[in-house]
Amino acid sequence: MEKDAVVELERVDAGYPGSLVLSDISFSVAGGEIFVLLGTSGCGKSTVMKHMIGLNPVLRGTLRVAGLEWSAATRAELCRKIGVMYQSGALFGSMTCLENILLPLEEFSPLKKKERTERAMELLRDVELAEAADRMPGEISGGMRKRVAIARAMALDPEVVFLDEPSAGLDPITSSALDDLILSLRESKRMTFVVVTHELASIFKIADRCAMFDKARRTMIAIGEPERLRDGSNDDFVRKFFNRG
């Protein structure tokens, strides 16, 4: 195991029972790193993320989070270390935005009731949505739902945060504020981030390293700093991606 690796994939085949999506993926994400997953739509980014957050078992190879593989025995411990924002937001539709963020706090945090509410409101303010606290997820916009979902993912100060397309559907100003939030959380709490995004501006602003998947070749085709991939790659696909076709 690499020193200080928070997420580690070794020769992983990603996919669903009976359908292989990506094969032979290896990389590791260091503590405090912001790691971005790239690739065209449908290439398997969300699939790889679902393996990393322990929803689906990998088809082959080893995947470790905080040094542990996902299993029934490690599940409870690992769930406490990760925060997840799903591509669709996945807020609980029957609870208000505030209750959505309170839920993990109620279940797992030792805080008192009043402190929990304060903490949840603070998280909402971080994503600039304090005014939406008492509204239902069905009554706010898609971009707002994503930001509430990010606040919920941060609720228990996880070690690693997984964000599936956090900035899709956000305006440039909100999206840039979100990037700032991610950077400041990394600074203040040394959180590790694994982010799926297509926004080139955001990639260059936040990513320490990125990994790129290709649908046609069904594997990881490049890994490294975004600037190095843009300027130094001799792969057509990678150049095309960074230079918009």
Min dist. Cβ of residue 43 to ligand ATP (A): 5
CA distance 223 to 65: 19
Instruction: Give the one entry of ligand ATP, Mg ion, another protein, none that residue 166 binds, where binding means its C-beta sits below a cut-off of 5 to 8 angstroms depending on kind.
Output: none
Q: What are phi and psi of 20, to 5 degrees?
A: -80, 130
Stretch that binds Mg ion, among 7-15, 39-47, 114-122, 154-162 (CB under 5 A): 39-47
CA distance 173 to 230: 24
Stretch that binds ligand ATP, among 36-44, 95-103, 140-148, 219-227 (CB under 6 A): 36-44
Cβ closest to another protein, residue 86 vs residue 241: 86
Q: Which amino acid is at 159?
A: E
By CB neighbour count within 10 A (0-12 exposed, 13-18 middle, 19+ buried), where does 197 fall?
Answer: buried
Name the DSSP letter for residue 192. E
Regarding 234 and contact with ligand ATP (CB under 6 A), the answer is no
Regarding 46 and contact with Mg ion (CB under 5 A), the answer is yes
Reading phi first (left if > 0) and then psi (alpha if -120 to 50, else beta), residue 82 is in beta
| Residue 108: closest CA among 76, 136, 133, 85 | 76
Regarding 51 and contact with ligand ATP (CB under 6 A), the answer is no
For residue 75 the two structure tokens come to: 């599940």
Per CB under 6 A, contacts with ligand ATP among 3-32 are 16, 19, 21
Instruction: Give the one entry of Mg ion, ligand ATP, another protein, none that residue 19 binds, where binding means its C-beta sits below a cut-off of 5 to 8 angstroms depending on kind.
Output: ligand ATP
Min dist. Cβ of residue 3 to another protein (A): 27
By CB under 6 A, name the binding residues for ligand ATP: 16, 19, 21, 39, 41-47, 87
